[in-house]
Structure 1
């Protein structure tokens, strides 16, 4: 096994090591899924067909987004931030593996673990309590691809934010702003289809929409054919651009570390 696959496998085992903690988080996600589903049901009863969704779509969206909280890491940053703060990142930079690739591999293992342990329970319980929409095999495969791209995009965004610590020495302010943007512009709180006019168009054009709204639309069958290709291309393009920016910023940060630390 190569170094990068090993990092992902190790991360998967590490993040799966505390099943009771994951179960508690799954219960929390499910509880808030029920609350959000009830709120959205009331909204869609008052505004039927809002944004092209029906009530079943809205309820499914609630539990689907709760399932995606962990994999796309809406809340929380990266362990790399702590290593930059303590200076341990100097050890990471001396590994015979690219810094960005190492932490991407770690994040993939984390995402798979949270998807299995924290993502499936909300959907299963939601299916018992409400009428949810379930995808066919083709839609399920497209959704899996979209979730994979969402994880990649999430990492690219969080990696850039974490690298800001090389200059700011404390990323909490940036993290707070990023959290607000992620919550409102990803579709996590309210589907972006409910945003009016130009506000909705702008929100759907920004990278955060690729974290939740795009995978949800794929799952609900709202993206098919050319629309599906465009949706996946949107996620891939933003992920590629942000990863490239992260690679460039890593080189700048490494030169800064060498200049300061010798």
Structure 2
């Protein structure tokens, strides 16, 4: 565990050196937050002040919490593992005295921790000043909300890892990455709350892990669901983590065997 902690902290420190990129990320995140907030607020105004249970303040909160989660969950995906597979560097990773998934998860947590603090919270504070935020009334919602963020990052990591591990069998994964990210950003509720979906699309979304990445932490942190319901949502997140972890382990094992067959 100490090795993984050192990897996590080293990754965190590494990203603290990218100050210009951090400032650019804060600016971009804030601008897109304003654009998204204006669109959602216009929709609510046209609906008469409320849309599927969302008031203007709740919709604005939804946007700013979503912007805060954008970088930590890496909503646009990563391609590092896929690149290492194609370049053959994955053979070295598999020989390390550390779990392959544990190694990259530690790096993910280091990046996500920095992104949340440096690129997630500042835009949310800007949003609080410009539009206000709806906050939970029950103090228990705050620690539960932090837990849902950690679980959301884990679910997002495993989903992205499955796409990357497809590189063992697919020579070019960019198309798959684009498709996955498009579906994820829609069904996770990042673009609009899933309660705004038509019934058939809402049913599909709820049978996927994607709402656990965005919709769940936002619902808990904004107070739309109480602690009792939050515990149920945490259970759903945990179940998806187990399912995706098993799938990733199976894919990794099969991919490692294919490398051996090819002489890798």
Please report the RMSD computed on the Cα atoms of aligned residues, expressed in angstroms: 1.3
Instruction: Point out where structure 1 has 5 or more consecutive residues left out of the alignment.
Output: none
Query: 1:19 touches 1:117 (CA, 8 Å); kept in 2?
Result: no
Cross-structure match for 2:63: 62
Cross-structure match for 2:15: 15
- Asked if residue 77 in structure 1 is aligned to residue 75 in structure 2, the reply is no
Cross-structure match for 2:249: 247
Cross-structure match for 2:37: 37
Displacement of 1:198 in angstroms is: 2.6
Deviates most, 214-223 or 155-164: 214-223
Instruction: Point out where structure 2 has 5 or more consecutive residues left out of the alignment.
Output: none
Q: 1:214-225 counterparts in 2 under 5 A? A: 214-225=216-227
Show structure 1 runs of 4+ deviating over 3 A: none
Q: Secondary structure at the match of 1:261?
A: coil
Q: Secondary structure at the match of 2:262?
A: helix
Q: 1:1-262 counterparts in 2 under 5 A? A: 2-47=2-47, 48-135=49-136, 137-262=139-264
Displacement of 1:217 in angstroms is: 0.7
Displacement of 1:226 in angstroms is: 3.2
Deviates most, 105-114 or 70-79: 70-79
Q: Secondary structure at the match of 2:233?
A: helix
Per-residue deviation, residues 149-184 of structure 1 (Å, max 9, x unmatched)? 000000010111000000002210110110111111
Displacement of 1:34 in angstroms is: 0.7
- TM-score of the superposition, structure 1-length normalised? 0.96
Distance 2:223 2:87 in 1: 46
How many pairs are equivalent? 262
- TM-score of the superposition, structure 2-length normalised? 0.95
Cα distance, 1:246–1:236 mapped onto 2, change above 3 Å: same
Distance 2:14 2:76 in 1: 19
Distance 1:173 1:198 in 2: 26
